[in-house]
């Protein structure tokens, strides 16, 4: 397993992102628990939050643990917890948008897809730049 040096700025940014999503998902869960009858989109949101909260919490713990904060090239550890936690959170937010309006739900889904595609391309570019720097 190849470890990279920990980037403190990246870890700080990831901690902010994960903490914000975790807080949002907890707030959504507490709100949904106070509703007597949930329609199907809100049930999906509740299930998605029940997945995202522990994954994002685990991601925070691993990001705060300096021994595990280094990213591994195997795709395990903080990266996997982060990715699956964020995806579950996106599903929850999308379900909430679908609860209010199909149009809003589809807009959220489309914009999330565009953002994900841009993020993946940007991430690949960063990895390529890091590989070039390692060779030099």
Q: 93-134 pLDDT, tens per residue?
A: 999 999 999 999 999 999 999 998 898 788 777 777 777 777
pLDDT at 2 over 70: no
- pLDDT at 75 (0 to 100): 47
pLDDT at 40 over 70: yes
Please list, in sequence order, all residues whose beta carbon lies within 8 angstroms of the beta carbon of residue 70, skipping any fewer than 6 positions away. Answer: 3, 4, 5, 6
Token pair recorded at residue 47: 């299930």
Model confidence band, residue 70 (pLDDT cutoffs 50, 70, 90): low
Please give the backbone phi and psi of residue 72, each rounded to the nearest 5 degrees, phi first.
-105, 150
pTM: 0.78
């Amino acid at each position: 397993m190849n470890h990279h040096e920990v980037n403190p700025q990246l870890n700080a940014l990831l901690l902010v992102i994960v903490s914000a999503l975790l807080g949002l998902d907890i707030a959504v869960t507490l709100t949904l628990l106070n509703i007597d009858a949930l329609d199907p989109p809100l049930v999906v949101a509740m299930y998605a939050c029940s997945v995202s909260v522990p994954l994002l919490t685990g991601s925070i713990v691993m990001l705060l643990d300096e021994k595990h904060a280094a990213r591994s090239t195997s795709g395990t550890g903080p990266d996997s917890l982060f990715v699956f936690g964020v995806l579950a959170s996106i599903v929850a937010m999308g379900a909430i948008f679908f609860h209010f309006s199909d149009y809003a739900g589809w807009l959220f889904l489309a914009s999330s897809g565009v953002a994900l595609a841009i993020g993946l391309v940007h991430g690949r570019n960063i990895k390529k730049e890091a590989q070039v720097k390692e060779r030099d």
